[in-house]
Amino acid sequence: MTETQKKFGYGNFGNLAEEYELARQKYTSEVIDLLWALFKHQRKCFVLDLGCGTGISTRQIFKKLQEENLANHNILVVGCDKDPLMLEKATAHPENRGESRLTYGVDNAEALSFLDASFDAITAFGSFHWFTSQKAISEIKRVLTPEGFFFVVNKNDTDGFKNGFRKIIKDAVGEELPEIKKDYNAARILDESGFRDIQTQHFICSELFTPEQALLYLQSVSIWNLVPTEKKEKTLNLLKEYCWDSSENGQVRRTIEVKAVFGWNSWE
């Protein structure tokens, strides 16, 4: 990553929290159902959602546990993120009101503030590629129970929509854009880190946006931070035109592969 990219905040999302909350969409119910199936209907479900952002996945996980008639059982879902501005959006969401079993806190994956063996599952929805260090993985394994599992989910674009808007931003930045997932392979990382019985599942689906929502989505991606202030307005106009040109019958379609990789802790 170049000094310019560091300066303008690649990997930061707090200043994009408003757009993130408005434009980012939920995960397909199939991947949430898969997560639930891994619990094998155990009575205690303590889940830590790492890099939770504005709490999209955290709320989905908690709602699924409630739907499975676990309301009177031992449930706790904790969403954590290093960015307090993202967590402000998460905690302010109406679904959190009056629900003590759904909580949030500022935490760093490389120095988690939880006791050993605190959680039956740790999840990372759209976030693990930002903290794949061995220090973070050691912390994940530490706070998992010996029988616990780590569940990683990513949305990967399968059509040309991403390439189009990245080119516009690249032209504005004037240099190659970083790609955090370029050499990222969650299954390999889990295997090399000692997780066992690693499995991968794929789900193909689409996200539909109005052109206005698509434009907000493009302002929620980290590379938007790389556009210099003096070029923001012009770039935004180009992205707006791109979103309208990409729409059909008033909708912009983003075709994605939702990839879930999961493995069990390897404590003796």
Please write the tens of the pLDDT for every residue from 45-54: 999 999 999 9
Residues in the chain: 268
pLDDT attached to residue 11: 87
According to DSSP, the residues that pair with 156 across neighbouring strands are 257
- Return the minimum-mean-pLDDT range out of 95-104, 121-130, 213-222, 246-255: 95-104
Torsion, Cα of 25, 129, 181, 61 (10° steps): -30
Residue 104 to residue 47: CA distance in whole angstroms:
12
For residue 119, give the amino acid letter: F
pLDDT attached to residue 189: 97
Confidence band of 39 (pLDDT split at 50, 70, 90)? confident
Percent of the chain with pLDDT over 90: 84
Query: For residues 128 and 154, is the Cβ–Cβ distance under 8 A?
Result: yes
**pLDDT over 60 at 3, yes or no:** no
Cβ–Cβ contacts within 10 Å for residue 100, how many? Answer: 7
Q: Measure the N-to-C terminal CA separation of the chain; round to a whole number of Å.
A: 39
Cβ–Cβ contacts within 10 Å for residue 104, how many? Answer: 24
Confidence band of 72 (pLDDT split at 50, 70, 90)? low
Collect all residues with Cβ–Cβ distance below 8 Å to 181 and sequence separation of at least 6.
129, 154, 156
**pLDDT over 90 at 133, yes or no:** yes
Query: For residues 148 and 264, is the Cβ–Cβ distance under 8 A?
Result: yes
Residue 29, token pair as written in the block: 């119910």
Query: For residues 258 and 49, is the Cβ–Cβ distance under 8 A?
Result: no
Confidence band of 4 (pLDDT split at 50, 70, 90)? very low
**pLDDT over 80 at 152, yes or no:** yes
Residue 191, token pair as written in the block: 């295997």
**pLDDT over 50 at 73, yes or no:** yes
Residue 105 to residue 17: CA distance in whole angstroms:
16
- Nearest CA to 213 out of 254, 242, 155, 252 is that of 252
Query: For residues 253 and 211, is the Cβ–Cβ distance under 8 A?
Result: no
Mean pLDDT value of segment 70-93: 88
Residue 110 to residue 227: CA distance in whole angstroms:
29
Residue 212 to residue 191: CA distance in whole angstroms:
41
- Nearest CA to 81 out of 127, 118, 22, 116 is that of 127
**pLDDT over 70 at 90, yes or no:** yes
Q: Hey, what domains does the chain have and what are their CATH numbers?
A: 3-264 (3.40.50.150)
Residue 253 to residue 211: CA distance in whole angstroms:
10
Percent of the chain with pLDDT over 70: 94
Residue linked to tokens 């493009």: 218
**pLDDT over 80 at 180, yes or no:** yes
pLDDT attached to residue 97: 77
**pLDDT over 90 at 146, yes or no:** yes
Residue 109 to residue 125: CA distance in whole angstroms:
14
Mean pLDDT value of segment 99-108: 92
Sign of CA dihedral 124, 65, 198, 265: positive
Higher pLDDT residue, 98 or 148?
148
pLDDT attached to residue 67: 85
- Residue 116 main-chain phi, psi, to 5 deg: -55, 145
Q: What is the DSSP string of 24-44?
A: PPPPPHHHHHHHHHHTTT-SE
